[in-house]
Chain A
Amino acid sequence: MIKKNIVFQKLNLKFLIVLFFGISILNSTNGQNFEGVLTYELTYTPNTNRNNSSELSKMFGNVLKYYIKDGHYKLLQFDNERLISTGIYSNDDNRLYIDEAGDNTIMWLDCSYDLEGLAELNLEREQFEVNGYNCQVLTITTSTTKSTLLVTSDISVDPASFSRHNYKHFNDHLEKVNGALSLEMIISGEEYDIEMILVDIYEQKLSNKTWQLDIEKTVVPEPREFDSKAEPIKGYEKFYSYLYNNLNYPRSARKMGVEGIVYVSFM
């Protein structure tokens, strides 16, 4: 039961990361691509007496820092300056890596598909100014949450650079809307509401080091539930016998006496 609860929390966390980032991107007309760090402050309002706001903050953090650049993002979640979790996405391998403080593994999610249906998106036509930013309101409704976002085309990224990010239908959101990030967001769920407010915008060049994973940790795929797993059409036995019949020992390796196991991965 405890284990299940932890898994649930992790899923929730990932949901938060992607939902937030995914739906916070909207229409851009100026074509200016933001590169830098956005800092948000979070407050929680519990809707049941099972949670209180300080526990929620410990779980999901009260400060989020987004490092964003075309095709990449990194999200740091802090609870009172203590780092709770890091999420890193790169369109190079189309994976979202979740690195939680205290865990010795980094879990990655294959972002090429999503098992849930697309949420309903509604962008209000009316445009207005908030603190000098040109804003619009987006609402998004899923089976469990309703979110309202104040988005601005003045801070935006290129949606084409996230076109393979099917996870949480991020690419569909981008395609529909085309660029802007949020100044504010309210997510209403059954258990609690979250309000996020943009408190700092810091434009800076982000080097490739920003997207590097902690090399001390083991990287593992997130286990997902399949009805049936992929397999060779004639079975694994035939597949392996084909491979070993066609495998040539490279001369250099033979000379050096290199032996061992190579792990090859594909989709």
Chain B
Amino acid sequence: MIKELQIIKGLQKDIDLEALSVIENCNLKWIPSYVNGEPVASNVVIPLTFKLTR
């Protein structure tokens, strides 16, 4: 489950919103981090490259 989704380092308003929405709408599930055999909430940072193709 994804929560506390936020931009750490943004580029431009619309790009930031697009980056948030593509991750929010991603339906691929995640395996949580484990500590001492227990699943725990942990922080994940995803870099997304926006590059124009001409």
Q: A263-B46, A266-B4, A266-B5 are in contact. Are A230 and B31 (CB under 8 A)?
A: yes
Interface string of B19-43 (1 = CB under 8 A from A): 1101101101111111111001111
Rounded to whole Å, the gap between the CB of A229 and the closest CB of chain B is 5
Question: Is the pair A263, B8 in contact by a Cβ cutoff of 8 Å?
Answer: yes
How many angstroms between the C-alpha atoms of A113 and B26 in the bound complex?
Answer: 25
Q: Identify which of residues 216-267 in chain A touch chain B, using a CB-to-CB cut-off of 8 Å.
A: 221, 224-234, 238-239, 242-243, 246-254, 256-267
Rounded to whole Å, the gap between the CB of A251 and the closest CB of chain B is 8
Question: Is the pair B50, A249 in contact by a Cβ cutoff of 8 Å?
Answer: yes
Question: Is the pair B45, A265 in contact by a Cβ cutoff of 8 Å?
Answer: yes
| A219 to chain B: closest residue by CB | B8
- A243's partner among B3, B40, B43, B48 (CB-CB below 8 A) is B48
CB contacts (< 8 Å) of B31 on chain A: these are 228, 230-233
Rounded to whole Å, the gap between the CB of B4 and the closest CB of chain A is 5
How many angstroms between the C-alpha atoms of A230 and B18 in the bound complex?
Answer: 23
Question: Is the pair A253, B12 in contact by a Cβ cutoff of 8 Å?
Answer: yes
Question: Is the pair A263, B52 in contact by a Cβ cutoff of 8 Å?
Answer: no
How many angstroms between the C-alpha atoms of A267 and B22 in the bound complex?
Answer: 16
Cβ of A110 under 8 Å from chain B: yes
Cβ of A93 under 8 Å from chain B: yes
How many angstroms between the C-alpha atoms of A134 and B12 in the bound complex?
Answer: 55
- A267's partner among B13, B15, B36, B44 (CB-CB below 8 A) is B44
B residues near A, CB below 8 A?
2-20, 22-23, 25-26, 28-37, 40-52
A residues near B, CB below 8 A?
93, 110, 112-113, 115, 221, 224-234, 238-239, 242-243, 246-254, 256-267
